[in-house]
Amino acid sequence: MCDHLPVFEPRAIVRLLVKAGLAALVANEVRGLILAGPVLFGMYQAGGTAMAIWLGFCSLVGIAISVFAPLFVARKLKLV
């Protein structure tokens, strides 16, 4: 038998998974900011027409939902 193998506690593994999940949430926030840039630039290039503003608004709301929904769920589960 090998007595020198490391033994991992379940609590340590859970802590590691929660930290990885929090890192994924931060990456999701950064992704949302990156995705918002082209939408805002497209609205600027379209001259601020009502259709461009509406499409930009819809795109930004979709990005915001994809960014804030995981954060909301994490708070409900008391992970953050």
Amino acid at 4: H
Amino acid at 8: F
DSSP state of 78: T
* Confidence (pTM): 0.57
Tokens representing residue 17 in the block: 């998974």
Tokens representing residue 75 in the block: 């708070």
Q: What is the pLDDT of residues 36-75, one digit of tens each?
A: 888 888 888 888 888 888 888 888 888 888 878 877 877 7
Q: What is the pLDDT of residues 5-21, one digit of tens each?
A: 666 677 878 888 888 88
- Position 66 scores a pLDDT of 81
Q: How many C-beta atoms surround the C-beta of residue 4 within 10 A? A: 5
The answer to whether 23 and 70 are in contact (CB under 8 A) is no
